[in-house]
Structure 1
Amino acid sequence: MQYRRFGRTELSMPVFSCGGMRYQQTWDDATLDVVEDANQQNLRATIHRAIELGITHIETARGYGTSERQLGLVLPEIRATRPVEAKGGPDGLIVQTKIAPHANPKEFRRQVLDSLDRLKTDYVDLLGLHGINTYEVFWHAVKPGGCLEEARKLQREGRVGSVGFSTHGLTDLIVDAVNYQGAGGFDYVNLHWYYINQWNWPAVEAATKNEVGVFIISPNDKGGLLYKPSDKLVELCQPLHPIVFNSLFCLRRPEVHTLSLGASQPSDFDLQVSSLPLLDKADERLAPILARLRRAMVEAVGEDVADHFRDGLPTWEEGDNAGYINTHIVLWLRNLALAYDLTEYGKMRYNLLGNGGHWFSGLNAAHLDTMPTERLEKAYKDSPFADRIAGWLREAHELLGGAEVQRLGRD
């Protein structure tokens, strides 16, 4: 395993983290009596495999159903047998959980303490304020006496180590949160950045400037369902598996400290770990693949569209013009489906629009044809593709629309 300094936390972070949102029994906030023995044994084996590989960062969240409670059956037994090591926390493990900011910071505190009890520990190395996706949630975190101040109190009491946040928000919000200095600011950020979605790079740069640790969320799932990639993507990424390609793409940047691996079973680590010996020549190995991926996108949608489809588009919040359609996301998913055959991924994400709350905001284009033409013209007048966007949105809905997808949890 390789390790990187996790910003100002000073933790020695493995470049892969064991994320806890795919191996739990259920997404319901249920008690342990619903957990089947086979599921718990699989979870235990997955954690042991991670540690065997040197993946000392175990990451979960209160919103991951039974994940915390199930980990609470495993972590104490692991810690009882581990020697004190230089890497990670006092016993070589880095344990992280995440709690959503609350309008009432006392409720946030209560939930943190309850999560510690679920994990059967009196201390976590990393506490994340989960889901700073809107400025309203950001305000719950940073207002005077808010959840960030409460987290710092817990830190002074010896309950938590470093304090960070996770986000699915727009880049400007993430940058504002990373730059925030009140109550000590945030020590690390969990955000999305990988090959198919590089929009948040300015936030990564801001994090680097502020010595904020950078944790990449869900590079294999939200990064394109890479554990079951399309045949076309497999071909374009040869001789690497798409998971190995994406791992190298992210980790070649020293500003990126760790990638979350939401393992569902012990073998899920194998492909990621196989990328480590390739890191020393990552740019050389990636160059022909990046060229093929670029060529496929240009052939599918055209160079101008590939580079500038987002230019001049209203955000989904400017819904009085755009009908609350998240046009950025819809067109992005269309392009990925056309260029890389990421249709299954596109359907998963497209049909979540309208059902994902502030975790995946805005609507899809199902209601596009109920909107007056003049309203659409006003919405997209600043786009260089103003006369083509409505057609692209219809195409996306025909390609990706279907049954609504309900969000199971928060990543």
Structure 2
Amino acid sequence: MTFPDRSSANFPHPMLYRRFGRTALSMPVFSCGGMRYQFQWQDAPFAQVPQDNQHNLQATIERSLELGINHIETARGYGTSEMQLGKILPQLPREKLIVQTKVSPKDDPKDFRREFDKSLGYLNLEYVDLLGIHGINNRETLEQSLRPGGCLAVCRQLQREGLVKFVGFSTHGPTAIITEAINSGEFDYVNLHWYYIFQDNWPAIAAATAQDMGVFIISPSDKGGQLYNPPQKLVNLCQPLSPMVFNNLFCLSHSQVHTLSIGASRPTDFDEHIKTLPYLASEQETEKVLQPILANLHRAMVEALGEDWVNGWRIGLPSPENTPGEINIPKILWLYNLCQSFDLVEYSKMRYNLLGNGGHWFPGQPASNFDEQKLWQCLAHSPHRQRVLEILQETDRMLKGETVQRLSRQEVAKTS
């Protein structure tokens, strides 16, 4: 396996690269995420990996590199992903690759080190360019990472040993926790969620920019609305772009964002994403195509929900830990809004049924049962509290279905 010679190929819209914060790495605006092409979510001997699965993974990596996407991102928590990549990456010119893996924070830093050693062994590399602490999602994981002698101290030792170049973190946590981790000044980059339907983490991105950190957006096409299978209403609203290309362009129109993860499960999964590149040729071109779509989407929200609700639904909402029954009211109202505005019902069902099952990756409970009087008192600062109560009940009826677990807790991932 060799690195493709792009100079001899026909690439009418070549890959674009951005400086990845203070790492100074030249980062492609798309990254090849490693959580969807692997065999399974648990470690297994390579002999158990089906040959066609490994061939597909190799073809996916080859297509990624052909397009100029040389950032390969994976994690210890992605089962066989690291091991399968370890059969491919050593065949490539190491200096042309940017390899990232992630290890979850541990209460015992020695466990964190053992997990990293396992990662590096599976990847079959002498070092990784980027190591992320995987899942700084709450106060506990933040303290496990930053306390003296904690996981970050292990990362610093790994840097001294030449096994890691740069250290960052990934997060599904609340903006306040993310921003606190960023403002510690200890990290070179952050992997976080931010896309059109979820813009809450912009203050964290602004904080990362102030720290000159790299900014990597997690799963914008899947967590950003399952845009590989969008509802027709969203398709119509995003014309002349596909919802996927629109969302990519929305994210990358902000220079503070450096790369978007493509969780490719097959080589063809890159095809729609690269259609974004021509629209990034100039700021004028980007704004020309984006602004009418943004106006369409906002208009659809106002028509579906009313301007007062669109402008003020978040006001006075308690956090899950301060809500009777730990109901995640902000998340539930957000899903309701997506259903009513853009017909994102299937996506919202998947997210809603994670409540109560997602741990600190997706905290809080659904609105299946609640004490209306206690909740009424808890919503005293909301200008819409009667409507909030009604929407909680309506959303539960609309979205409640089978229990959903995070992919990493499932037996075998079959998503695409």
TM-score normalised per structure 2: 0.93
Q: Report whether the alignment pairs 1:347 with 2:349.
A: yes
The aligned counterpart of 1:124 is 128
Q: Deviations over 1:41-74 (max 9, x none)?
A: 0000000000000001000001111111111111
Residue 34 (structure 1) shift:
2.5
The aligned counterpart of 1:229 is 230
The aligned counterpart of 2:400 is 401
Aligned-partner Cα distance in 1 for 2:235–2:191: 27
Do the aligned residues in 2 keep the contact of 1:164 with 1:186 (CA within 8 Å)?
yes
The aligned counterpart of 1:7 is 21
Residue 20 (structure 1) shift:
0.4
User: Over the residues paired in the alignment, what is the CA RMSD in angstroms?
Assistant: 1.2
The aligned counterpart of 1:336 is 338
SS at match of 1:202: helix
Instruction: Specify which of 271, 289, 299 is matched with residue 285 of structure 1.
Output: 289
Aligned-partner Cα distance in 1 for 2:354–2:192: 19
Do the aligned residues in 2 keep the contact of 1:101 with 1:130 (CA within 8 Å)?
yes
Residue 108 (structure 1) shift:
0.3
SS at match of 2:176: helix
Do the aligned residues in 2 keep the contact of 1:29 with 1:63 (CA within 8 Å)?
no
AA aligned to 1:66 is T
Q: Deviations over 1:146-203 (max 9, x none)?
A: 000110110011000100000000001111000003xxx0000000000000000000
Aligned-partner Cα distance in 2 for 1:142–1:250: 29
Aligned-partner Cα distance in 2 for 1:260–1:340: 23
The aligned counterpart of 1:257 is 258
The aligned counterpart of 2:150 is 146
Residue 4 (structure 1) shift:
0.4
Q: Report whether the alignment pairs 1:50 with 2:51.
A: no
Aligned-partner Cα distance in 2 for 1:360–1:265: 27
Q: Deviations over 1:242-294 (max 9, x none)?
A: 11000100001100000000001101111111110111211110111111100
* Pairing 1:174-213 to 2, within 5 Å after superposition: 174-181=178-185, 185-213=186-214
The aligned counterpart of 1:136 is 140
Residue 91 (structure 1) shift:
1.6
Q: Report whether the alignment pairs 1:24 with 2:38.
A: yes
Equivalent residue pairs, number: 393
Aligned-partner Cα distance in 2 for 1:258–1:203: 16
Do the aligned residues in 2 keep the contact of 1:23 with 1:264 (CA within 8 Å)?
yes
AA aligned to 2:30 is F
AA aligned to 2:399 is L
Q: Report whether the alignment pairs 1:68 with 2:67.
A: no
SS at match of 1:312: coil
Q: List runs of 5+ in structure 2 lacking aligned partners.
A: 1-14, 410-416
Paired-residue identity, % = 58
Q: List runs of 5+ in structure 1 lacking aligned partners.
A: 83-89
AA aligned to 1:220 is S
AA aligned to 1:303 is E
The aligned counterpart of 2:366 is 364
The aligned counterpart of 1:325 is 327
Do the aligned residues in 2 keep the contact of 1:131 with 1:168 (CA within 8 Å)?
yes
